[in-house]
A and B are shown apart, each in its own frame.
Chain A
């Protein structure tokens, strides 16, 4: 089946640093989504990308839909303590399956 490879699995950064994480797949997706999950909560949608090459920002977050439609990245600029959590990428294809999720990137921010 379809799989998403998300990296890194975890990262520890200093407050104020920029962060980058990405997802790759051997399959083509028509939509890429990025979610954040805080401890004890369900995932919350951060950014949705609908076209290859699309670059979208949401505050300090920027995400891009790769030209090949097989990858996406998420950048967080000037990290703050509340950025701590698990970030998931997810892809939608035109096949019969719903969202496919990556395994998540666990972000820790050191003040």
Chain B
């Protein structure tokens, strides 16, 4: 049974470039979440998807951030025109239903130079 996987594990980019981060949830999990974790900090909720419902985007920090989930499985988090303050670890999690325990991927460490 594979867990949540994320790619790339590390991404270094230049300020102003766009980046895409990928998340493969656990098979059969209907809910998928994105979080951001700055160095030594807690988890900052960004967005979640549940089934075919419209995603809850209430945590996205700016309109440079967007996410999509294709076919109810894989999700991509896109950050446009990256800024240095976007540097963080981006964590993805999935759960079987919205109100159940979440299982996390290993994260993508993004560094914006």
A55-B72 Cα distance, complex, nearest whole Å: 36
Are the CB atoms of B42 and A102 closer together than 8 Å?
yes
A41-B79 Cα distance, complex, nearest whole Å: 22
- Residues of A near B45 (CB, < 8 A) are 98, 101
Given A42-B91, A103-B41, check contact A98 B103 (CB 8 Å): no
A42 contact from B31, B42, B100, B106, Cβ within 8 A: B106
B 76-95 binary contact with A (CB < 8 Å = 1; else 0): 00000000000000010101
Are the CB atoms of B107 and A98 closer together than 8 Å?
no
Are the CB atoms of A42 and B4 closer together than 8 Å?
yes
The residue of chain B having its C-beta at the shortest distance from the C-beta of A100 within the complex is B45
Chain B interface mostly: loop
In this complex, the interface size class of chain B, counting residues with CB under 8 Å from chain A, is 20 to 34
Task: Identify which of A11-19, A43-51, A56-64, A69-77 touches chain B.
Answer: A43-51
In this complex, the interface size class of chain A, counting residues with CB under 8 Å from chain B, is 20 to 34
Are the CB atoms of A103 and B42 closer together than 8 Å?
yes
Are the CB atoms of A99 and B102 closer together than 8 Å?
yes
Q: How far is the CB of A3 from chain B (nearest CB, A)?
A: 11
- Residues of B near A98 (CB, < 8 A) are 31, 33, 45, 48, 95, 98-99, 102
The answer to whether the Cβ of A66 comes within 8 Å of any Cβ in the partner chain is no
Are the CB atoms of A42 and B101 closer together than 8 Å?
no
Can you add 16 more A-B contacts, CB < 8 Å, to A43-B91, A43-B104, A45-B101? A33-B101, A41-B107, A42-B91, A42-B104, A42-B106, A42-B107, A45-B102, A45-B103, A88-B42, A90-B102, A98-B31, A98-B33, A98-B98, A99-B102, A104-B42, A106-B40
